[in-house]
Amino acid sequence: MNKINRQNLIKRLIQSGQIGTQEEIKHHLHEEGIDVTQATLSRDLREIGLLKLRNAEGKLYYSLAETSNSKFSSAVVSYILKVARAGFMLVLHTNLGEADVLANVIDSDAIPEILGTIAGADTLLVICKDEETARKFEQELSAAI
């Protein structure tokens, strides 16, 4: 099976249920007669752009990136516990160990109004281009969490 067909199958697997680990994906692929190395699977997941979201019980699962009117993906919102603003900066609070993951998601979204992020263990500083942008993002994120 070629790369495109394999990645399309992975997308269908992700859409069919809440798969939480690469090992689960690898198992489903094996059931379909496709054996892949861990390196190939990791590269496929990165190229597909899968996100890790948290369900109501707190369990992480893979999801395809969504498009919406929001500047922020549902993955971003799923990590945020609390939002505060200081001038042109946002302070986002997460569970312990998730701020760096959230920073990577925000940075990969390449939102032009965000100049950069700085992550600690459970706190993320988001530097916006100006106060108005920070105010707009604060309202958007506060309404979504």
Q: Do residues 140 and 81 both lie within one domain?
A: yes
In a domain, 68, yes or no: no
Looking at residue 127, which CATH number applies to its domain?
Answer: 3.30.1360.40
Residue 85, φ and ψ in degrees, nearest 5: -125, 140
In a domain, 107, yes or no: yes
The residues of the chain scoring below 70 in pLDDT are 65-70
By the 8 A CB rule, do 29 and 45 touch? no
Q: CA–CA distance from 140 to each of 15, 43, 90, 96, 121 (Å)?
A: 27, 32, 12, 23, 23
Looking at residue 20, which CATH number applies to its domain?
Answer: 1.10.10.10
Q: Do residues 132 and 88 both lie within one domain?
A: yes
Cβ neighbors of 122 (< 8 A, separation 6 or more) are: 93, 94, 95, 96, 97, 98, 99
By the 8 A CB rule, do 51 and 109 touch? no
Q: Do residues 59 and 94 both lie within one domain?
A: no
Q: What is the pLDDT of residue 70?
A: 63
Q: How far is CA 97 from the centre of its chain?
A: 14
Domain end (from 20, 43, 63): 63
Q: Which two tokens stand for residue 7?
A: 């990645």
Q: Do residues 140 and 83 both lie within one domain?
A: yes
Number of structural domains (the chain) is 2
Q: Do residues 28 and 87 both lie within one domain?
A: no
Q: What is the pLDDT of residue 66?
A: 55
CA angle 62, 105, 47 (to 5 degrees): 60
Q: Do residues 140 and 89 both lie within one domain?
A: yes
Q: How far apart are CA 71 and CA 102, in angstroms?
A: 14
Percentages (nearest 5) of helix, strand, coil residues in the chain:
45, 20, 35
Parent domain of 122: 75-144
In a domain, 69, yes or no: no
What rounded mean pLDDT belongs to the chain?
88
Q: Do residues 29 and 82 both lie within one domain?
A: no
In a domain, 90, yes or no: yes
Residue with tokens 């689960």: 24
pLDDT > 70 in the chain, percent = 96
Q: What is the pLDDT of residue 65?
A: 64
Q: Is the pTM of this model over 0.75?
A: no
Q: What is the pLDDT of residue 67?
A: 46
